[in-house]
Structure 1
Amino acid sequence: MLAAVGSLLAAARSVLHLRTLLLGATSFLCFVVFLKMRLPKNYPPGPWRLPFFGNFFQLDFEMFHLQLQRFVKKYGNLMSLQLGDVSSVVISGLPLIKDVLVHMDTNFVNRPINPIRERVFKKNGLIMSNGQVWKEQRRFTLMTLRNFGLGKKSLEERIQEEAHYLAEAMKEENGQPFDPHFKINNAVSNVICSITFGKRFEYQDSEFQELLKLLDEATFLEASMLCELYNIFPRIMRFLPGPHQTLFKNWEKLKSFVAHVIEKHKRDWNPEETRDFIDAYLKEMAKYKGNAASSFDEENLICTTLDLFFAGTETTSTTLRWGLLYLAIYPQIQEKVHAEIDRVLGQWQQPSMAVRESMPYTNAFIHEVQRMGNIIPVNVPREVTVDTTLAGYHLPKGTMILTNLTALHRDPTEWATPDTFNPEHFLENGQFKKREAFLPFSLGKRACLGEQLAKTELFIFFTSLLQKFTFRPPNNEKLTLNFRSGLTISPVSHRLCAVPRV
């Protein structure tokens, strides 16, 4: 009997001891979370946050850039958000944005590397790398793009040729409704592919069409709610099914494609004859062979080439798709562009950058497409490199910085009709007018290095297509300006009619 009572007491002590341990561990964990969640002194204000998740469940990831504007109205031009253990600050208003991107750029020059990017690219490539890797890759890429015609007539000729192919592909639709998405993607991608891979791909190439679809899906998935959850709990989410697994498979297939192209280049590589970006990079790798401090290796070649492929395809093609959609929805604006093209170029003169100054309305239209399309609404993120004071607020090292281009491009103090598509925003007395509050390519040291290429593509593609076609909605179909959120803001799937001009 006594033995039984003793056993019960021992078991009770054991249970109590276990409960004490669990309670202590939970209390300690909560204390650690409290310390991590506690805001630094003089930190920018923001909405209330939950332990572990921060503001995750308060955010609508499909409408993030619009929801953000409501927070900005409440908390001001410097406001904070928390995603898991990542502290972020949203910067609004032109003066503060210029402080971050230009005047204090050394304090904000880095990119934050989230778990998805870490898994796919590690710390390699062009867009999200930092420090010496970024400096070396950017310097080399800029030099090589210039060597292959960036800002020169030779690159214009490539774009003109591709614009011709795109017009022929649209002509084959015979004025009937079609989805322009992947025709445009293919055309724009061919420009950067001709520089990086030394070749273009036919619009009927099924393998390349599949790659473009993988890239489009990855662009959409990476900004989804479950992929953002992966960034908060990568160690748990890596074992669970979901869109993040599809995202990783897509990126791996895209990396494999680039790696395969590189292997083909290696087999017939001649250091004396540089055909494209990959050849130039192989030459640079050979120069630094055996130098452990150099970032020129095969992994960086794959990642930098893939960055060029992504950035050189997605942003410009999405802008073109928005532009054709706006033309179909606003026929009176399309008529004005047509009239200017007819007056300056006629039906047969090939569009070139040399005539852009003589076409202020067309140029203003393209800029307004970029303003209203708003394809990268909070810019590519930055990271605070050292503890910094900005507008009186303390920003600790490691804080992620989002520059609010949506608010800037819809600021009623900067734009006469901020929420209306209106090319007159970029005109003054009939002449094109630059606007300081227009930053689709960002500013400073980490501004888009493909800005000149994108501007050339947009002008030549738009003028070439509008020389040949009138874009209309299909009969009995209503076009909308609804969007799909991903790494970029793109139009929802739609059909247009490209009616040949007589």
Structure 2
Amino acid sequence: MKIMTMAVIQHSNLQTENILLLLLVFILSCVYLWKRSVSSFPEGPWSIPFTKNQKLLHARPHIRLTQLRDVYGEIFSVKLGRQRAVVVSSFEGLNEGLVKKAFTLSGRPGSLLSGVFNKELLQSNPSLDFKIKRDFALKSLNSLCYKPHIEETMKAETEKLASFLLSQRNVPHIQAILEPIFLRLIMFVVNGKLYSNDDANFHEIWKTFQINSQLLVSKWEDLKSISLFQSSVSYNFFQIRERSEIQMAYQRDIVNRHKDCFNPNIVSDLVDCSLVMLELNEDSGVLSQEDLDGIFVELCSSGNQPISATLAWLILYVSYFPDVQDKIYQELTSVMGIERSPRMSDQPHLPYTCAVILETQRLATVLPFMYPHMATEDTQFMGYKIPKDTAMLFNVWSLHHDAKHWKHPMKFDPDRFLEDGDLRIPDQYLPFGDGLRSCPGEGISDILLFLFSTNLLYYLRFDLQGKVDLEGEMMGYVLAPKPFSLTVTPRETVVIDIAAELGETLETSVCMIEDDVSFDDVLD
């Protein structure tokens, strides 16, 4: 009986060993087949199935992903959400992906941007319709840059802001002040109406765009969660959809008001530009009014946060480096004295000030990865096979801090953009991206940054209170400075009382300027 029991045990052990051996062979075969299938796919840090490289995205993701470049090279892969993404860090890679393979690698991964109502330009995949929409936005916004009333309105807003900051003297969070100002100005460029700070409609629009911005933040948070289920499911998409529909209806009313008094010889804003385009059939009948309404809403909602973050970074840098601030002031007063404030026509004569703006955009890189791209088809890229629907992260922050292209890249040094006293902008400078997905509002952004930075630094001196953090934090896809406190004092250039009433808002020739329709009317 004992011998029999021993035999059974030995037989059982043999079966167990065989099962384990078969299981091992199966696992090794799976690993072999998997490695064979991805051997031409960029390598990257290992992640456990059904999770992701979540730690890479929690704190300072732009720095963590840039550090991986030293381990895996200038192109590697990481797990984002429920898919792997290719991270591209080199200038050659960005140039090939954004320009040479623009149509192939400029799609949008819906899982990382779905739910956001910016769909006409931000989310659309490359197509003829997309190109016509983008060309319209780019051409029209660039043409509006030269309209005198645009500059005059922006300049008046800088004086109002300077007056407000002087009245406060102590400013705890300047970016929070800047965001609604830039939204109002972008909406002015689009619709021809400059809302007042206490306008009820503007507060509803601001709330709608804040919800949209929070959803983008949630998409970034989704990438940091190890859960198989995305955190954004907790967001009230019914509310988002309802508010976006109301915003679209309100925008349509504005367009209809333009149509009632349209004069092709007087083009004051982006809506006027669209009416001219439709009248001349420059879109070949491709774009509907709904398409254009979507573009208007999207452009209003997508630009204020990056611009406000950039200006906040600039104020932080010049406050942290007071010698830079003093040098800017000396240049400003040497060009215009203390009799008038800066204008766009002064830009060619202010190379150092412009270099400070450029260096701020390089060092801060407020959109370190831009927005995620996606391969729209199987393609060869940088020696690798990239399957269709692969997410692509183009790491502009890495490029802007690459020692191969920038001497002491972590140092704030405006002189790197100067050569014999003139501005010099290298090819590796891409704050607005490149190719099909480059920012169509680059021209307007440049004007806003120049007028606000020069006028504020012409009128005011900024000094930091307490310790500051120069690393910033990711707010969705935007790298913003952490809140910092400022003391604001007047410069001797305040020879006029800018704290006094500055008069009524500048009006354009747009007949819908007297807006008596509210969000409540749209709801009815």
TM value normalised by structure 2? 0.77
Find the partner of 2:473 among 475, 484, 488: 484
**1:333 and 2:324 aligned:** yes
Q: How many Å apart are 1:317 and its aligned residue?
A: 1.2
Q: How many Å apart are 1:172 and its aligned residue?
A: 2.5
State the match for 2:114 in structure 1: 118
State the match for 1:181 in structure 2: 175
State the match for 1:157 in structure 2: 152
Describe the shift of the 1:52–1:303 C-alpha distance in structure 2 as closer, same or farther (beyond 3 A): farther
Task: Return the alpha-carbon distance in structure 1 between the equivalents of residues 31 and 288 of structure 2.
Answer: 40
Find the partner of 2:130 among 111, 134, 139: 134
Q: Deviations over 1:30-57 (max 9, x none)?
A: x99999998534111111133233x243
Find the partner of 1:270 among 248, 260, 266: 260
Q: Counterpart of 2:456 in 1: which secondary structure?
A: helix
Find the partner of 1:343 among 308, 313, 334: 334
Find the partner of 2:288 among 281, 296, 306: 296
1:265 touches 1:278 (CA, 8 Å); kept in 2?
yes
Q: How many Å apart are 1:493 and its aligned residue?
A: 2.1
State the match for 1:194 in structure 2: 188
Find the partner of 1:495 among 470, 485, 488: 485
Q: Counterpart of 1:119 in 2: which secondary structure?
A: coil
Task: Return the alpha-carbon distance in structure 2 between the equivalents of residues 36 and 379 of structure 1.
Answer: 31
Letter in 1 for 2:49: P
Describe the shift of the 1:208–1:247 C-alpha distance in structure 2 as closer, same or farther (beyond 3 A): farther
Task: Return the alpha-carbon distance in structure 1 between the equivalents of residues 270 and 363 of structure 2.
Answer: 33
Find the partner of 1:366 among 357, 365, 386: 357
1:171 touches 1:498 (CA, 8 Å); kept in 2?
yes
State the match for 2:69 in structure 1: 72
Task: Return the alpha-carbon distance in structure 1 between the equivalents of residues 241 and 489 of structure 2.
Answer: 37
Q: Deviations over 1:159-195 (max 9, x none)?
A: 223222222222322x233432233223322221112
Higher alpha-carbon deviation: 417-426 or 246-255: 246-255
1:36 touches 1:85 (CA, 8 Å); kept in 2?
no
TM value normalised by structure 1? 0.80
State the match for 1:227 in structure 2: 222
2:188 touches 2:194 (CA, 8 Å); kept in 1?
yes
State the match for 2:9 in structure 1: none
State the match for 1:104 in structure 2: 101
Describe the shift of the 1:294–1:432 C-alpha distance in structure 2 as closer, same or farther (beyond 3 A): closer
What is the number of equivalent residue pairs in this alignment?
Answer: 456
Question: RMSD of aligned C-alpha atoms?
Answer: 3.3
Describe the shift of the 1:442–1:231 C-alpha distance in structure 2 as closer, same or farther (beyond 3 A): farther
Q: Counterpart of 1:82 in 2: which secondary structure?
A: strand
Task: Return the alpha-carbon distance in structure 2 between the equivalents of residues 112 and 34 of structure 1.
Answer: 32
State the match for 1:57 in structure 2: 54
Letter in 2 for 1:272: F
Identify unmatched segments of 5+ residues in structure 1.
Answer: 1-30
Q: How many Å apart are 1:478 and its aligned residue?
A: 2.4
Describe the shift of the 1:449–1:182 C-alpha distance in structure 2 as closer, same or farther (beyond 3 A): same
State the match for 2:396 in structure 1: 405
Describe the shift of the 1:484–1:250 C-alpha distance in structure 2 as closer, same or farther (beyond 3 A): farther
Task: Return the alpha-carbon distance in structure 2 between the equivalents of residues 394 and 324 of structure 1.
Answer: 44
State the match for 1:46 in structure 2: 44
Letter in 2 for 1:170: L
Task: Return the alpha-carbon distance in structure 1 between the equivalents of residues 193 and 377 of structure 2.
Answer: 44
Task: Return the alpha-carbon distance in structure 2 between the equivalents of residues 452 and 177 of structure 1.
Answer: 29
Q: How many Å apart are 1:439 and its aligned residue?
A: 0.7
Q: Deviations over 1:372-423 (max 9, x none)?
A: 1110111222222332222321112222221111111111122222112111
Letter in 1 for 2:145: L
Describe the shift of the 1:212–1:38 C-alpha distance in structure 2 as closer, same or farther (beyond 3 A): farther
**1:469 and 2:460 aligned:** yes
Identity %: 27
Task: Return the alpha-carbon distance in structure 1 between the equivalents of residues 208 and 311 of structure 2.
Answer: 20
**1:429 and 2:423 aligned:** no
Describe the shift of the 1:420–1:275 C-alpha distance in structure 2 as closer, same or farther (beyond 3 A): closer
State the match for 2:369 in structure 1: 378
2:81 touches 2:223 (CA, 8 Å); kept in 1?
no
Task: Return the alpha-carbon distance in structure 2 between the equivalents of residues 247 and 337 of structure 1.
Answer: 47
